[in-house]
Each structure stands twice: as structure tokens, then as C-alpha cells.
Amino acid sequence: MDEPPDLKRRSFLLGKFAAAPQPDEPSFAVIGQACFALRGIACMSCRDACPTGAVRFELAVGGARPRIMTDTCTGCGDCTQSCPADAIRLSASEAAS
């Protein structure tokens, strides 16, 4: 199997030195209604920015729809920074996604 990406090295190379989420309160990305892809505009910036591949797009009528795979989302926030619509936020609980 492939090894998981070295997230610390990626963060260092991108100039990000944020602390990792606390294990007792994990964060997950949540996509809001302002998302361009949900409005039928072709955009996959969040998928391209995600170092773990937690953002997946599923085919639907009107175009692809984003979905966060909470089991692989680390809460790093790379997707929130790359979203041109500011439609992604981090939530402290999996129930909010």
C-alpha cells in the first residue's frame, strides 16, 4: 500500500506552522451552501488542496458534488484556505458534517 503523505513536511514547505488538532476534540471540514460546485460551477480547489484526499466529488445531476470523508480528514484546514467561495469551515464534531 502507499504510505500516507508527510503532512508536517508539506506544512513546512507551504509556510504553515499551525499546531495539529487536539486528539480529544478532532476537527473536520464542513462544506456550506456557498460552494461553487454545489451551485453548478466547476470547481475542485478543495480536492486539489487536500493532502490526504479526504475531499471527494460524486457525480450528480447538474455536476459533481463535494463530500468530506471524515475518516481521512485531519482537520488541517488546507481546503478552507483554497476555497474561492469561503464555503468550507472546520467543525469540532463529526455530527456537524
What three-state secondary structure class fits 64?
strand
Q: Over the stretch 18-67, which tens digit does the pLDDT of each residue have?
A: 555 455 567 899 999 999 999 999 999 999 999 999 999 999 888 899 99
Domains and CATH numbers, the chain: 31-96 (3.30.70.20)
How far apart, in whole angstroms, are the C-alpha atoms of residue 40 and residue 32?
14
In angstroms, the Cα distances linking 29 to 13, 32, 35, 89 are 22, 10, 13, 6
* Residues forming beta bridges with residue 31, ordered by sequence position: 88
pTM of the model: 0.67
- For residue 38, what is its C-alpha cell? 454545489
